[in-house]
Every structure is written in structure tokens, then in C-alpha cells.
Structure 1
């Protein structure tokens, strides 16, 4: 690669790294795995940068690689192996102000891979139905049905988790807009 291409790549990575990490985290639910997925994605992008830097929808192209890396990694049985001789210490419980985001993140983690991928691309990466369909290489109808099924499942999980007025309020917010899903992606 030329020095100009290296600069373009560095600019792209610095501008999109946090979005990619957030999307990967919401896909897999583990910060370490998310970093591995992002690193693998960025290596693939770097190796093809001279050809793909002029693609019309570069973000969509990179998100497609990211989702494929996530799916490939989750298919491998060795990816679930714990390589430590003892279990890691549990993180401290987050402050109460992030309770809603944690509930949404947990509900997101229970969805199928396809539903989770569609919801993350649609509402966290802010892609349209057509862009999401192109990234996942499926039809727009599939994106719409997976979005509807995923949001329905999340509503039910949030209502079951918090049957009080708080849970109903969060579930209705997920029903109206994906603001809680977006908030979970920011944290």
C-alpha cells in the first residue's frame, strides 16, 4: 500500500473504531470477544484496503465483515474454551442508573444470532432496511421479519424481568422506539 492509502485507512479506523466495538459488543456480549472480532475485521479490511476504499458504502461493507466474523467465531467450538487456570473475578455491579441499559443488553443477548445482528445493525449502526439486507446478504423482508420478531421477544423479556411499572415502561419504550437499545449501545 502507498502512504496515502495507509493514511486513508488510519483515518477510517480512527473515525469508526468505537462504532465497530459497540456493534461487536452488542453482537457477542463480551468486551474481549468484541475486541477480537473488531481486530479480525480491521485486519481483513487492511489487507483489501487498496481495492475497497472506493466502495460506495464502505461502512456497510465493513459491518458485513464484522457480522461474518462474529458468526464464524461463534460457530467454532474452541471459541468457548476458557484459557485461564481460574475463573475471572466478577465485575462490580454497575450503578443503578445503567439498570435499563443492562436489562436491554441482557435481553439482546438472549435473541438468536440473526435477530441480534439485525437489531444491532438497524438501531445501533443506524442502517436502513435495505442497507442491513445488503450487509447480511438477505432480503428486505427477512430484515423486517427478524426486526419484528427480535423486538417482540425483547418486549416480552423486559416485561417478564420487570413485571412492575418500570418493566412495562421500558417495554413500551422498546415498542415505540429503539431508544433503550441505542442507550445500551452507548454504554
Structure 2
């Protein structure tokens, strides 16, 4: 399960409804794929632009595709890549989770007119991968000291898309804010997500 898939699972409730709107979720998923590449040592930010450090293709198809796109383009700022990669990404990630049997696709209509697609789990319960991700995040926020890098990256992305209250409803707000801020320090992918969301809101607000 990659970071984008974990973030998508967290972003949908047990009924299969999205709790994070667009374009924020798309930006967050794009940032998650960039974070995967950074954690694997494939890319980093050099002179404020995303640079390929190791062109070796990752095993994960979605992550491999992003690395290929970055390698084929000129150096771009992280926020540019977040916006570019976000297009159609939510559907792509959800399709992958449906194909793997983690979620199912449920199409219907609101008031018999407006189409609506939900993504509940097949068993009607929280997917095991989501439960595991939540557990890691809660342990990281309630604990002290260093946090495993993938969990820290996921926490930084949750903060970037402003979804921390829903993920940590029972934890003290001050504790959550402090720990997630620590996770976000130096995380250029999550920072790019946050900036992209802020710019979108400024442009549309």
C-alpha cells in the first residue's frame, strides 16, 4: 500500500463518501506520490526544483510512472508537479483500490437526478490497510521522539490537506498540531500540497 492509497482510504468514510474535497485530495495524492519517490531516494529538491537523483524504476507502477514523467521533463518546482500530477489522480488511485478488492465502486443518484459514486469497503468495515495506517499515525502523534519516515510523511500530508481533525478526533488538538508540525518540517512534498491548496483557495475565494 503506497502513501497515496493510504491517504485515499483515510479521506473516504465507511459509507464510501469523500471527506476531503477537490482539488485538495488530488493535490494530497500527488504529494503522496512525490513523497514516495523522495523516501526511496529517487528524487529531491535541488535549487528549489524537483530533480531525479536515481532513475532506477520503482516496483510500484503509479510511483514508477511519476518518476518517468519527472525524468522526461525539465526541472520544475514541487508545487507545479503537485498541480500537474493531481489531474485525474483521485480516480486513478480509487480504481486501483477497487481493482485490488480493498474498496468497491457503488454508483447511484442523489434525488434521482445527480450521479454519485461512493467507494465503501466490500465488507462494510474499515479496510485493514486503513486501520493499520490510522494506528501508525495515532502512535506517532501520541508518542515522543523520531517517527518512522513513511508515517511522518503521511501525517504531514494529512495536515497539508487539513484533515487532521477527522483523523484524530479523540486526541488533544494542541498535541496533534504540535506533532504534525514536527512531521512537516523539511517535508517539501507536503509543503507543496499546502501551498497549492492555499493558492487555489485564494484564486477562487
Task: Verify same fold: TM over 0.5.
Answer: no
Question: Which structure is higher in strand share?
Answer: 2
Q: Which has the higher contact order (CA 8 A, sep 6+)?
A: 2
Structure (1 or 2) with the larger CA radius of gyration: 1
